[in-house]
């Protein structure tokens, strides 16, 4: 199972991000700091409820499109984690614009790229000093980009969904480059497909419950090593082709 001392999760107020927080706060051994980022902490009722049953959860404000807030965020996270640093970053926040060829607009493409692609990269860059600062003897350091099988070029036989597919394919390229850049520093990076999951994004017809998907993902993340570095990995551990 995954081990983490201090971790940071984006889009943590609902869906997969919220469930990741729910399960990570109770990992054994218990993480010291779980930092849950969301756009509107005042309205994050589920997250707020969790803070009353655990002492390791911190809620921070982050709209991932607000790049001008990243430096301030880094200072805030630094104040929370101190010398422990961060050993796990989960770039989970995402948007899904399923636009066909006849529907898609420049704005659709740019909005999806901003949230699903640019933000994970720039947040990784911003928090990297804190990731480097964590004690790698105790835990392996990991950056997880929550991607999607729809970003796999070779698995795309159906077309469509231009903003979503393109932004996740580009995210996978970022995963590959970050993995190559940081492996020598003991930091691994993977893209992870959570499966088709019942959330606001996945919809009610999705076959998988969010707690099942997240428990499988956390188990899989516990076994990431240099062989899986830079890959797109299914929630159950299978490698997805590019």
- Least separation in angstroms between CB 136 and ligand NAP: 27
Smallest separation (angstroms) from ligand NAP to the CB of 18: 7
CA angle 22, 193, 223 (to 5 degrees): 70
- Does the footprint of ligand NAP cover residue 64 (CB under 6 A)? yes
| CB-nearer residue toward ligand NAP: 83 or 158 | 158
Binding-site member from 5, 191, 199, 220 for ligand NAP (CB under 6 A): 199
| CB 16 within 8 Å of CB 206 | no
Is 48 a residue that touches ligand NAP (CB under 6 A)?
no
Cα–Cα nearest to 37, from 56, 4, 14, 53: 14
Distance CA 122, CA 133 (A): 18
- 173 or 201, CB closer to ligand NAP? 201
Name residues contacting ligand NAP, limited to 128-187 (CB under 6 A): 146, 148
| Residue from 162, 170, 150, 156 nearest 101 by CA | 162
Determine which residue in the list 46, 109, 201, 237 makes contact with ligand NAP, applying CB under 6 A. Answer: 201
Is 94 an interacting residue with respect to ligand NAP (CB under 6 A)? yes
Task: Return the closest-CA partner of residue 131 out of 118, 144, 119.
Answer: 144
What span, in angstroms and rounded, lies between the C-alpha atoms of 152 and 79? Answer: 38
By CB under 6 A, name the binding residues for ligand NAP: 10-11, 13-17, 38-39, 62-65, 92-96, 115, 146, 148, 193-194, 196-197, 199-202, 206
């Amino acid at each position: 199972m995954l081990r983490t001392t201090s971790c940071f999760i984006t889009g943590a107020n609902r869906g997969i991000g919220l469930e990741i927080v729910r399960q990570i706060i109770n990992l054994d051994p218990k993480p010291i700091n779980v930092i849950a980022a969301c756009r509107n902490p005042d309205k994050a009722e589920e997250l707020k409820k969790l803070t009353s049953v655990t002492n390791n959860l911190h809620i921070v404000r982050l709209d991932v499109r607000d790049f001008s807030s990243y430096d301030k965020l880094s200072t805030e996270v630094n104040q929370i984690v101190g010398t422990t640093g961060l050993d796990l970053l989960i770039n989970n926040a995402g948007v899904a614009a399923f636009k066909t060829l006849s529907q898609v607009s420049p704005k659709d493409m740019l909005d999806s790229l901003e949230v699903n692609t640019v933000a994970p990269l720039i947040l990784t860059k911003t928090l990297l000093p804190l990731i480097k600062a964590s004690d790698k003897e105790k835990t392996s350091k990991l950056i997880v980009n929550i991607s999607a099988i729809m970003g796999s070029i070779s698995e795309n036989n159906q077309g469509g969904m231009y903003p979503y597919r393109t932004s996740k394919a580009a995210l996978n390229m970022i995963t590959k480059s970050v993995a190559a850049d940081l492996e020598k520093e003991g930091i691994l990076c993977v893209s992870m497909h959570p499966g088709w999951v019942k959330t606001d994004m996945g919809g009610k017809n999705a076959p998988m419950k969010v707690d099942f998907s997240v428990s499988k993902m956390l188990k899989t993340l516990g076994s990431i090593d240099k062989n899986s570095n830079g890959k797109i990995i299914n929630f159950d551990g299978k490698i997805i082709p590019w």
